[in-house]
């Protein structure tokens, strides 16, 4: 559509890629390419459609509403996927806590078993070996050192 506007009666302004032509009867917008006149005093030409501001606002509002309606299912899907992911994370956290508790119980049981085994083996040494007081004291000290290390490393704490 071609639009001729008198340069005396109208002004043009570029806004957001559109040319707004303000004249005596209001403003209209060139939805296309505005070609200014090369001759002084002559109006420019719109190579495209001309739309009233209210028409363009209504069209733009409708297109925006349509785009938002298209985005709504995508956002709902994303929300559902996030909810599913959060539920999986909660289950994984719970499983991790349970696994850690089980490991701690096993470590504690191994420590107790090792403690009992070492104590019974040292206590079962023959009386002849334990008759030497110096050897007996050193053996008892070694036993206590080992049991202390076991308690430190296998107490599950």
pLDDT at 69 over 90: yes
Q: Kindly state whether residue 36 falls inside one of the protein's structural domains.
A: yes
Query: How confident is the model at residue 77, as a pLDDT?
Result: 97
What total of structural domains would you count in the chain? 1
pLDDT at 86 over 70: yes
Distance CA 107, CA 115 (A): 12
The C-alpha angle 15, 21, 26, rounded to 5 degrees, equals: 115
Beta strand spans in the chain (E): 11-15, 18-23, 26-35, 45-52
Helix H or strand E segment including 140: helix 133-154
Domain coverage including residue 31: 11-61
Tens of pLDDT, residues 53-66? 888 889 889 999 99
Q: Kindly state whether residue 95 falls inside one of the protein's structural domains.
A: no
Q: Kindly state whether residue 16 falls inside one of the protein's structural domains.
A: yes
pLDDT at 118 over 70: yes
Q: Kindly state whether residue 43 falls inside one of the protein's structural domains.
A: yes
Q: Kindly state whether residue 75 falls inside one of the protein's structural domains.
A: no
Q: Kindly state whether residue 85 falls inside one of the protein's structural domains.
A: no
pLDDT at 114 over 80: yes
Q: Kindly state whether residue 142 falls inside one of the protein's structural domains.
A: no
pLDDT at 4 over 80: no
Q: Kindly state whether residue 20 falls inside one of the protein's structural domains.
A: yes
């Amino acid at each position: 559509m071609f639009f001729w506007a008198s340069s005396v009666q109208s002004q043009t302004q570029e806004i957001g890629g559109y040319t707004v032509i303000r004249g005596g009867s209001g403003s209209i917008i060139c939805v296309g390419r505005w070609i200014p006149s090369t001759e002084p005093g002559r109006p420019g030409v719109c190579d495209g459609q001309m739309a009233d501001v209210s028409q363009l606002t209504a069209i733009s509002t409708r297109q925006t509403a349509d785009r938002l309606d298209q985005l709504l299912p995508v956002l709902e899907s994303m929300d559902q996927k996030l909810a599913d992911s959060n539920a999986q994370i909660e289950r994984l956290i719970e499983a991790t806590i349970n696994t850690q508790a089980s490991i701690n119980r096993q470590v504690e049981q191994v420590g107790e078993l090792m403690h009992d085994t070492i104590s019974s083996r040292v206590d079962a040494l023959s009386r002849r070996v334990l008759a030497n007081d110096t050897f007996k004291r050193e053996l008892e000290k070694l036993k206590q050192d080992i049991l202390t290390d076991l308690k430190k490393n296998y107490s599950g704490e």
